[in-house]
Amino acid sequence: MHDATGVASVGWLMIALPLLGAAVLLLGGKALDKAGPYLAVLLSWAAFVIGLLIVLQLRGRGAEERAMHLHLYSWIPAGSLNLDAGLLIDQLSTTFVLLITFVGSLIMVYSLGYMEHDPDKRRFFAYLNLFVASMLLLVLADSYVLLFVGWEGVGLASYLLIGFWNWNPAYATAANKAFFLNRVGDMGMLLAMFIMFWAWGKLDFAGVNAAVAGTGKGTLLAIGLCLLVAACGKSAQFPLQSWLGDAMAGPTPVSALIHAATMVTAGVYLIVRSNVIFTASENARLAVCIVGAITLAAGAIIGCAKDDMKKALAASTMSQIGYMVLAAGLGPVGYAFAIFHLVTHGFFKAGMFLGAGSVMHGMNDQVDMRRFGGLSTVMKITWVTFGLGFLAIIGFPGLSGFWSKDKIIESAFIGEGWKPWVFGLTALLAAGVTAFYMSRLFFMTFMGKRRWTEDVHPHESPLTMTIPMMILAVGSAFLGLILGPTNIITDWLEPVVGAHEEGHPVIGQYPLMAITVVLMIIGVAIAWKMYWRDDVPITPPVGSPLTQAARRDLGQDDLNEAVFARPGLHLTRSLVFFDNKVVDGGGNGMAAGIGGSSARLKKMQNGYVRSYSLTMLLGVVAILGAWWVVQ
Amino acid sequence: MDYSYAPLLFFAGIGAAFAIFSVVGAGSLAGPKRYNRAKVDAYECGIQPSPQPEGGGRVPIKYYLTAMLFIIFDIESVFLYPFAVSFDRLGLFALIEMVIFVLTVFVAYAFVWRRGGLEWD
Amino acid sequence: MTSPATFTQAHISYAAVVPMLVIFGAALVGVLVEAFLPRAQRYLVQLGVTLIGLVASFLTLVLIARNNRGVTAASAVVIDAPALMLQGTVLVLSFFAVLLMAERFDTKYPDAFTQSGASVPGSPTETNAVRLGATTTEVFPLTLFSVGGMMLFVASGDLLIMFIALEVLSLPLYILTGLARRRRLLSQEASLKYFLLGAFSSAFFLFGSALVYGATKTIQFGALADAVASTNGRDDILIPGVFLIAVGLLFKVGAVPFQSWTPDVYQGAPTPVTGFMATTVKVAAFGAMLRLFYVALDGLQWNWQPVLAVIAVLTMIVGSVFAVTQTDIKRLLAYSSISHAGFLLIGVVALNKTGLSGTMFYLVAYGFTTIAAFGIVALVRSSGSEATHLSQWAGLGRTSPVLAATFSFLMLGFAGIPLTSGFTAKFALFSSAVGHGATWLVVVAVLMSAVTAFVYVRIIVLMYFSEPTGDTQVVMPSPLTGIAVTAGALMTLVLGVAPAPLLNLAQHSALFMR
């Protein structure tokens, strides 16, 4: 690995600039209320420029010469563990850098308009800058530990931003749930690191990658599964997915940036970054595939039933990340496609979220799609840009999603035995369902009859908001075409993720493409009939049991609640006064269970010296007794 | 078997026998039996035993203060005694150490004195 | 009468023990100040004496003692690298704790300490003291005596000195515990409890020392290590002796099942004293424990390691799980300190150089965070007295954003979020146990960290996402508390971002002398 030279040697500025922005904005006080947001946007763009220069620098070198290492300082020198803080500037990380800084900066520009009247926007932009810095640290880190720093940082920023409007207790609960499910993931991450340290004594990517060969299958599987748990928490994958829908409580630009384009893809990044481990452990990869397949199907089904525009988009995000995870689980055939889809998805999903924000902006912050309809006439720019994103995600031939998602479906069919059929068919059918629910969303919002409430007067959003949407729409349309068929992305990533294996799908490539397109058309057609041609009822129909289940996120919260929350909650509620507000199903359930047992144990702490000394005496007796027994 | 402790046991036996004889035996055999109030009272260092109200009652906290002060100076003298006995062999170093020790105890004494610890009421 | 053996004067390296002498000297001066100065002048003079004493001691430690290491005073005192590091830690943490103790709110809010410790709560004596505007300045010399005891504790070279140091550090703490201004009865009860249980545990320590002496004919750690290696058939009293000594030390750190005093005492004691106790006593007790197990009982590791491992697990679990339902912030922090004691025990069990340096680093990191946290607890008031019930902390994020943000950051530090000292400390410590047959301990520790994270985050949530209760005010502190809290929070950050200098110091210090 080469030491960083040229622009790359100041790569740390990419992280430092937004971080500086966050600090200045948070500490600056009211004086910066006006100028602060602009400073934040400027610094974010500066990070993008540096990132772009680095990529240009990398392109000037040979494929194998591109990865560079930038040593920052000696961070935790703890005896046998000598951990340096350094940045790994290679093809994978710079891909992410460009995505994060470009989309992030666009969304910050958009936020200038969206948050214009918010009294607290200085704090908002500070958090956004903090997020960008953390996310860049996450992808640029040269070791799992430093990655974990960014990992927690983005979690923190996400938490702060979901709960940004914390005067609403429901939003606060959502922020909480996100935090707890993420902690489960973090535990996976920590355990993975400790197993790595135990097995290899190393935690930097280069060291770990070199040590994988010759390690036992069991160890690799354990590490792989722990990493998978971590990825599930961050990327809202089954069974830790339920926080993402609730996270939509945050301001819409946040949903676009963090909960669609960047942070939620960190799990995919983690898996691809650990590709050496996953390539070596087939069982771990199988687990990844299963998780991805379940999530992409579940997300698609949930997406069909949601009437809340943002929650429908969230379900779609879950499903699309499911595709990426599935691709990453397929191994060398899929890594590059996972990242490819991640990039295109970043563009079109961010664009659609911004569109949703624009719609909300014009509709007095309503999100119920049953009260939308016919907006295409009054919000033309939003309609067109959203439409391009919509066509991209359903895989309309020629647009970005077509190139990236199709590749994943194709890869899922590669292999032998039952696996290609199960994973391939799931991915294929879900593509049809995707077309249906996205069309449903699009038609309900922009097409058909107007079902507006009396008091709304929809209008197009200001230019600060629409220009970013236009740029993202252009990306949604053409990025796939530029990167995909030309093999730019696969060639670019090859040195990191290993040589791309050309496999043969169990169904031929062109028939498969045709089936995909046909399924897509069927999905769109059904949606057209139901949600454009026919009238959409304003009150949701009762629906089939599946619809009902999907509305309730396929029972994820109910399951959590029944298993963990209810028994513990009953005990805890009277004891811990604010659990009514805080312990609300979801991830808190486990904690409530612990709370219950804690309450029972609390009785031992009765305040009498005599019982305390008795406990001590019993402790002594137990220790000595145990020793004598062992003797 | 090592009999070197035998004399010790022997003396302990004699001592116990004497105690038993004088308290249980001689007194009950020879002594006159004229009881009064003071005789049946508990022995408390010669002062009037505190009245015993219901529930055991309390001893004034001042006793504890006095007792603590006594212990401090008692321990001081316990240290001083062996020092005094072998002073000639210990030399100047021990003298300095002892002076420091006594001074530190005097610091405590000064504190007690100035803060009214020696006043009974 | 035969003439007694000739007296050989033990050599004492005064240069090595001068930091301790400075502290004890300052404490004596403090007692004299109490005795002879008029009431009105005592506070300022005491504060000056104490702070100068601590700083001077630290300077002598760095400038003189550091260059005069060695085993001294007939092997009773060992000034080696770990002893210096731990003594320095105790001094620095005490400095900030004393700043917290010195906080006086004039007449607007009651101070942490009672006006008259010796009077019965509610009695005319007390009322009189309040009327006179008295303030308990004895806390300063008491603290210094305790600090001196701690410094000796971590440097003790034999069991007797260790015992004496244990008592010297404990006795002032018992008194300090009973001096709270508000809720006097609770405070006095805590004091008595701490004293009784402390005496109980000291008895175990002493009894254990006697058994060990009986088995090995020595109490000096170095000789003990040699004797332990060669004892034959004496295990039946040696091992129980070792365990009983361990009980005395485990009591001080609040390890399960000897933890029951911790919440009551932490709650009852004046908050600055709790801050002092929670940090320095842990440093001292873990320092002593490390010395005992690493130096003297190294050869018996197959006997004590499993026992300590089980205790570590129990301590982590009990501390973390109990913390979940606490509704009083001081009790919550008490249980949190228990769980941290469990984490720290991992370093003792690890029995390697990394374990030693990791534990020392953890102690520093935890100490700073804890001091700052207790400093903040003392500022949140409700109708005069401290608002320790968690419900009174609701909505602080809105009413006093700076305080809430600082406290949240400290909580994240406790939880071990990266870029705080808590993460670095946990990582350095846990990695010492990984790969030395104690991986399962680390797994438990990671799981329990997640549970405690819930506890800490709950407080953050409460401060930011709940409605303010209305009657809770935050006192604007004087620079004293300000400095202590700022320093604590700053160190929490610095040790997370750039821990290398301190970690290096800890590693270079991780070698015991015998």
Question: Which residues in chain C touch residue B110, judged by CB atoms under 8 angstroms apart?
Answer: 31-32, 35-36
Section C264-291 average pLDDT: 93
Section C337-346 average pLDDT: 94
Question: Which residues in chain A touch residue C324, judged by CB atoms under 8 angstroms apart?
Answer: 591, 594-595, 598
C480 to chain B nearest CA, in Å? Answer: 28
Residues A467, A498: one domain?
Answer: yes
Q: Between A118 and A549, whose confidence is greater? A: A118
Q: Is A365 inside a domain boundary?
A: yes
State pLDDT tens for residues A268-322. 899 888 888 888 888 888 888 888 888 888 888 888 877 788 888 888 888 888 8
Does any CB of chain C come closer than 8 Å to the CB of residue B113? yes
C455/C488 Cα distance (integer angstroms): 21
Give the number of C-alpha atoms closer than 13 A to the C-alpha of residue A207, restricted to the C-beta side: 17
Residues A566, A469: one domain?
Answer: no
pLDDT of res. A603: 56
Which residue range(s) make up the domain with A477? Answer: 328-334+349-551
Does the pLDDT of residue A569 top 50, yes or no? no
Residues A384, A496: one domain?
Answer: yes
Residues A437, A573: one domain?
Answer: no
Show which of residues 341-380 on chain C sit within 8 Å of chain A, judged by CB atoms. 353-354, 357-358, 361
Does any CB of chain C come closer than 8 Å to the CB of residue A621? no
Judge: A79–C432 Cβ closer than 8 Å, yes or no. Answer: yes
The pTM assigned to this predicted structure is: 0.80
Q: Between A574 and C508, whose confidence is greater? A: C508
Tell me C182's DSSP state. Answer: S
ipTM score for this prediction: 0.87
Please state which of the ranges A277-286, A505-514, C24-33 shows the lowest mean pLDDT.
A505-514
Q: Kindly report the average pLDDT of chain B as a whole number.
A: 80
Judge: A609–C193 Cβ closer than 8 Å, yes or no. Answer: yes
Closest CA to A575 of A606, A548, A601: A601
**DSSP 3-state of C328:** strand
State pLDDT tens for residues A434-478. 888 888 888 888 877 777 777 777 777 778 788 888 888 888 888
Q: Is A402 inside a domain boundary?
A: yes
Section A376-399 average pLDDT: 82
Section C280-289 average pLDDT: 95
Residues A491, A579: one domain?
Answer: no
Does the pLDDT of residue C372 top 80, yes or no? yes
Of chain C, the percentage scoring pLDDT greater than 90 comes to 48
pLDDT of res. A306: 79
Total domains in the fold of chain A:
2
pLDDT of res. A364: 76
Q: Is A81 inside a domain boundary?
A: no
Closest CA to A347 of A427, A428, A403: A403
The values of phi and psi at residue A444, to 5°, are -60, -30
Residues A362, A429: one domain?
Answer: yes
pLDDT of res. C335: 92
Residues A413, A562: one domain?
Answer: no
Show which of residues 5-34 on chain C sit within 8 Å of chain B, judged by CB atoms. 6-7, 9, 28, 31-32, 34
Judge: A627–C439 Cβ closer than 8 Å, yes or no. Answer: no
Question: Which residues in chain C touch residue A597, judged by CB atoms under 8 angstroms apart?
Answer: 321
DSSP secondary structure string, C331-356?
Answer: HHHHHHHHHHHHHHHHHHHH-SHHHH
**For the ranges A50-59, B38-47, C291-300, C435-444, the one whose mean pLDDT is highest:** C291-300
Name the band, by pLDDT with cuts 50, 70 and 90, for residue B99. very high
Residue A524 CA to its chain's centroid (Å): 26
Non-local (6+) Cβ contacts of A207 within 8 A are A200
Judge: C200–A79 Cβ closer than 8 Å, yes or no. Answer: no
Instruction: Tell me which residue in C7, C9, C35 faces B110 most closely, judged by beta carbons.
Output: C35
pLDDT of res. B14: 92
Does the pLDDT of residue B79 top 90, yes or no? no
Q: Is A165 inside a domain boundary?
A: no
Q: Is A177 inside a domain boundary?
A: no
**DSSP 3-state of C411:** helix
- CA nearest to C24 within chain B: B104
Section A123-152 average pLDDT: 88
pLDDT of res. C197: 93
Tell me C234's DSSP state. Answer: -
Q: Is A87 inside a domain boundary?
A: no
Q: Kindly report the average pLDDT of chain C as a whole number.
A: 88
A439/A445 Cα distance (integer angstroms): 10
Q: Name the neighbours of C, counting chains with at least 3 Cβ pairs within 8 A.
A: A, B
Which of A551, A568, A584 finishes a domain? A551
Residues A491, A595: one domain?
Answer: no
Q: Is A547 inside a domain boundary?
A: yes
Q: Between A101 and A568, whose confidence is greater? A: A101
DSSP secondary structure string, C360-371?
Answer: HHHHHHHHHHHH
pLDDT of res. A313: 84
pLDDT of res. A108: 87
Show which of residues 550-589 on chain A sit within 8 Å of chain C, judged by CB atoms. 572, 575-578, 581-582
Q: Between C71 and A169, whose confidence is greater? A: C71
Determine the length of chain C.
Answer: 514
Residues A388, A526: one domain?
Answer: yes
pLDDT of res. A554: 63
Does the pLDDT of residue C52 top 90, yes or no? yes
Does any CB of chain C come closer than 8 Å to the CB of residue B114? yes
State pLDDT tens for residues B42-68. 766 666 665 665 555 666 777 788 888
Name the band, by pLDDT with cuts 50, 70 and 90, for residue C127. confident
Residues A465, A547: one domain?
Answer: yes
Residues A485, A455: one domain?
Answer: yes
Judge: C35–B93 Cβ closer than 8 Å, yes or no. Answer: no
State pLDDT tens for residues A572-623. 333 333 333 333 333 344 445 555 555 555 555 667 888 888 888 888 888 8
Of chain C, the percentage scoring pLDDT greater than 70 comes to 97
Determine the length of chain A.
Answer: 631
Non-local (6+) Cβ contacts of A475 within 8 A are A347, A348, A351, A400
Which of A498, A521, A551 finishes a domain? A551
Judge: A620–C200 Cβ closer than 8 Å, yes or no. Answer: no
Residues A363, A379: one domain?
Answer: yes
Does the pLDDT of residue C105 top 80, yes or no? no
Which of A551, A578, A597 finishes a domain? A551
Q: Is A468 inside a domain boundary?
A: yes
